[in-house]
Structure 1
């Protein structure tokens, strides 16, 4: 029953995706306005509710984008799935591929070709990272950036608390990137210093939270310069995120500290120097934890200001939508650190596999050298990816569920915005109905996610393709998903 309820929720969410395309005149439909989005489902496992999504009325020229929500009688069959995929499986680009399809409501495997083969997952690795991070952070947990008193009254310390999405100005309560604002932090600190009559300070930075290397040894040397990934650090500005051909600063922590110093200067506080302070810390240590020689806790330093990030679950969703390699690595490292694991990239990768296995998923043979999927040394199976997807939709893992709801929508958002819409007048069946995580490395392409078929049944899928040119592989995977959307497969 839980799987059915979660699947109905996913179906309704995909209706919203199609409606958004319709309202933007990107697919045939009846909507001509942009209504407010429906309220989100609840986050209580087992009692999830459906948003109210009005269905368009029937038309003689345009069929319903989604059929009635499916029940058990609409369950697909393995035989029906083989028939639906027959033509797609002969595509040359899929000659060396692993493909798995499951019923999203029952978890039953409907199609499996090479699903147990270990392959390079590319960026679909982020699905496993999201599952692991979701075991450590509570659903509404945020990351705190603090400025505290130093050892002397005129010394202040900026404590890097893991938020790499700080707004350079005021925070925006409606945003994920930029929820916490550096200007808001500066306002608090300036006011606290004024109350103490302090006008001149030295600013240092405490980077003891989740320390680790900045770049993985298995990444390409050009990745940073191309904007594929930024420096993995526990503090940064939302305005300095890495993007294609727009690299992030080499030192995001120093950049944020200099920005805070400038904001304090604007508020009448003279900052004589910005110093780096990176005391060693073991796994699980917090930067503000101190103790006396007798082992009793020392008094906590005075907090001069603090700001809270968006919930980690929303940051994970953003990481999946944008395929943000840096953000994924930052969140995974913090989760591993908090859980007492090592923070080198391969240590975090091993920790992710352990966390996924703890969910009851078969991870036999899986190895990860990073959390984002940039490493060509990563190996997972298509079966593993679909098992994690089924878990994410069953309602028992709210952080993972929110992350999956952040996967790009076919033809509409993120890395799928320009896929499944080759003809704007006649979009492919999966447009607006599929959510999936893409993965692209030279010679290794992947796609894993969910789609609602013509019977309203939720299907989850994973495809890992080797050897084919990127464009051919993407086209073949898109046709694979379109075939799933276009069938009842009973």
Structure 2
């Protein structure tokens, strides 16, 4: 049936379907190459996306339903530094990008940088060293610092310890700890219910069915509320919270937030203990766990690599701020906004990436400053075979037209669908895009485009998407 449709379809329609199919497969293959040095595909984060894209491309191309095997060795080789595809020239890239940079939608100030992922060489730049507010494109920098400090396999524990008069729930800084029924998946969130069940079992083993409950969120310090104030994009930053302090069942995007994430988590924990037959005496109180307190139970977050992927795919502010504070803890800095900013900056410097001013982990603070050159070089470093620990920075990038904050974009940019992966950034008057693109010749490139003083966010985003698509669509050797 599909084969008959293919034979009878108009030529232009077949060309369009073939183009979409090739784009999807190329994007899948490029991403697979990016993660190859560090283990399973994207820590399991988007295995379904890979399978759907590959199978859909196969059906569109020839009527078969099986996945398409990798067919682009040059793309895979680009990550390992053995690229055979020709890299674009500066003149070639300038010919396609400079007309697009004149788009009025990009506002009063804008910049661009394109690098070759295999060689690390800059291929194009326009005001590439000028620092602008990056908005959420600072998140890959936060993620890289955390991965460098802790490694992609690190997990964050939430524990229950014995207190002087009962038990203490101790937050370790996992914002994804969930009070909802646990969702099945390879990177399942830590469950508060499972923690309550384990704690109840230990208490019963110790011969008691009643206890007092306190909670300890002292691992983090300094102000909990971001400088932008309470809002639906970020809960107060706490070492103890469930479901990122959300007051609904959503797992990403804006949502009403609790003003007391630690207290709410502890009270929910006490309620769950009651359901396990443990009577909680008195009110839940704030306390401090002793340094040598006996651990009774614990649950662990998904690996840090998976948290990075989730933070980048969904532009998750809460996870990003947690990554920054975990970096501070690993670096001996106070786990505050200020300490985290200092720790992230120092880690980036050790990666050979100076010249950025970090004010927070999420990019909500307009005091963050980064250049297009910095952002593009950061992604080169994430692709470097010498730094496999940074690979989740690449694999977490949204796929154009498929996932995360790019799932609703690139509808009119077919050459970019599947071949562009990028982190978006949006604040009032600020629009940015930083990511990777597979060129028409199969070369993996990194890019960053920044626009400041924009007045129409949708128009600015379309202009940025056209630029990323232009990089993906051209050989650019003229």
Q: One fold, TM greater than 0.5?
A: yes
SS at structure 1 position matched to 2:213: strand
Residue 145 of structure 1: aligned partner:
158
Residue 370 of structure 2: aligned partner:
380
Residue 136 of structure 1: aligned partner:
149
- Indicate whether 1:237 and 2:229 are aligned: no
Shift of residue 341 of structure 1? 1.4
- Indicate whether 1:345 and 2:333 are aligned: no
- Indicate whether 1:9 and 2:1 are aligned: no
Residue 95 of structure 2: aligned partner:
83
Bigger CA drift: 108-117 or 340-349?
A: 340-349
- Indicate whether 1:99 and 2:118 are aligned: no
Shift of residue 96 of structure 1? 2.1
Task: Find the partner of 1:335 among 327, 346, 358.
Answer: 327
CA distance in 1, matches of 2:244, 2:85: 50
1:88-143 deviations in Å (ceiling 9; x for gaps): 23322236211000111111111100011110000001111111111221331101
Residue 397 of structure 2: aligned partner:
407
Task: Find the partner of 1:484 among 466, 471, 476.
Answer: 471
SS at structure 1 position matched to 2:414: coil
Residue 293 of structure 1: aligned partner:
none
SS at structure 2 position matched to 1:145: strand
Task: Find the partner of 1:264 among 253, 266, 273.
Answer: 273
CA distance in 2, matches of 1:202, 1:442: 47
Q: 5+ residue gaps in structure 2? A: 1-28
What TM-score do you get using the length of structure 2 for normalisation?
A: 0.82
Larger helix proportion of the pair = 2
- Indicate whether 1:185 and 2:177 are aligned: no
- Indicate whether 1:370 and 2:383 are aligned: no
Whether the 8 Å contact between 1:205 and 1:257 is mirrored in structure 2 is yes
SS at structure 2 position matched to 1:135: helix
Q: How many residues end up aligned between the 2 structures?
A: 430
Whether the 8 Å contact between 1:446 and 1:464 is mirrored in structure 2 is yes
Residue 118 of structure 1: aligned partner:
131
SS at structure 2 position matched to 1:361: coil
SS at structure 2 position matched to 1:174: coil
Bigger CA drift: 20-29 or 436-445?
A: 20-29
SS at structure 2 position matched to 1:134: helix
Bigger CA drift: 123-132 or 22-31?
A: 22-31
Task: Find the partner of 1:464 among 436, 450, 459.
Answer: 450
SS at structure 2 position matched to 1:102: strand
CA distance in 2, matches of 1:275, 1:381: 47
Shift of residue 404 of structure 1? 2.3
Whether the 8 Å contact between 1:119 and 1:381 is mirrored in structure 2 is yes
Whether the 8 Å contact between 2:399 and 2:407 is mirrored in structure 1 is yes
Task: Find the partner of 2:86 among 74, 77, 95.
Answer: 74
Residue 165 of structure 1: aligned partner:
176
RMSD over aligned CA atoms reads 3.0
SS at structure 2 position matched to 1:146: strand
CA distance in 2, matches of 1:381, 1:76: 22
